Structure 1
């Protein structure tokens, strides 16, 4: 049986130890290589025989370099990249998929990683539930104009209409009109 060869990209010794041990217990999966930096990850993906990469988002504090490693790996190899991280922010999840990740599993849902590896290797589209809601919301918002999206994002951050108008240098009536338009478009998308 050919095992699924995994590259683990992680900088935390605790997670490295546990993930390597757990994955190597599977009959069809082996951790073929580990990396702690973006450079090591790209080099291993390019030169080792790797099928699936488990990638942490942050390999250096506050740098999100795992996202850039993902982009480089997915554009230069056939490896499937699964993000495995503690981050649950919408923007990071969307960036991960934009950079080429095929799935995103938070460490809170670590027990699901084996199934995610098998699905990625088989070429199945299996989006983990921890990020599915984010993707669904983003899909529903695709019909908004750039200007409406700016207003929507600020509204989601808790700003009031008059604050948004001031921040975007728009009239209050324009912002209120855009908020109504956003509501109509989201309702239409839900009913389609």
Structure 2
């Protein structure tokens, strides 16, 4: 018999925990070895159970993004052998980027739960194409990495709707410096 992909699901919402466990248990090559409901339960299970992939909810308690910290801690204890897929309803770019920085190999919105089994197989096989739920945010982040910290700050303020004069006052820089940095930002991002 072929080896099953051992999955731990970490999800605080009983509806999603039961639904995803039931769906994954129908897959012939996937075995849910643990359905944890908290950070503590996930870390304890990781210390005692063999697993290949973790499906991690980002908010394990009251919108605190503690799934991100749990993922990071799992990566520190289990290292690269563990593949973490973030599962969430959050779509903001900063959260997506933090998930990858904390060790996630993929990021899937709960609305696309039908893609989870394939994402698990891809992660287990070392082929983790980034799900469309996260791809745009990651492309944007890669483009922004070429900006200096000062340019990045100005770019973010522009994105928030501030004009050059307001940015000049906020950052205590001359208007000419702001104009020059905005030209530099445009030059780098339009390449």
Q: What TM-score do the two structures reach when normalised by structure 2?
A: 0.95
Counterpart CA distance in 2 for 1:171 and 1:108 is 46
- Aligned residue for 2:8, secondary structure, equals strand
Q: Tell me which residue corresponds to 2:44.
A: 43
Q: 2:119–2:128: 8 Å Cα contact kept in structure 1?
A: no
1:144-183 matches, cutoff 5 A: 144-183=147-186
Instruction: State whether structure 2 residue 66 is matched by structure 1 residue 65.
Output: yes
1:107-186 matches, cutoff 5 A: 107-186=110-189
Instruction: State whether structure 2 residue 55 is matched by structure 1 residue 54.
Output: yes
Q: What TM-score do the two structures reach when normalised by structure 1?
A: 0.94
TM-superposed deviation, 1:187: 1.7
- Aligned residue for 1:143, secondary structure, equals coil
Counterpart CA distance in 2 for 1:163 and 1:108 is 39
- Offset from partner CA, 1:86-124 (integer Å, 9 cap, x none): 111111001000000000001121111111000000011
In structure 1, runs of 5+ residues without a counterpart are: none
Instruction: State whether structure 2 residue 85 is matched by structure 1 residue 82.
Output: yes
- Aligned residue for 2:90, secondary structure, equals coil
TM-superposed deviation, 1:133: 0.8
1:17-36 matches, cutoff 5 A: 17-36=18-37
Give the number of equivalent residue pairs. Answer: 188
In structure 2, runs of 5+ residues without a counterpart are: none
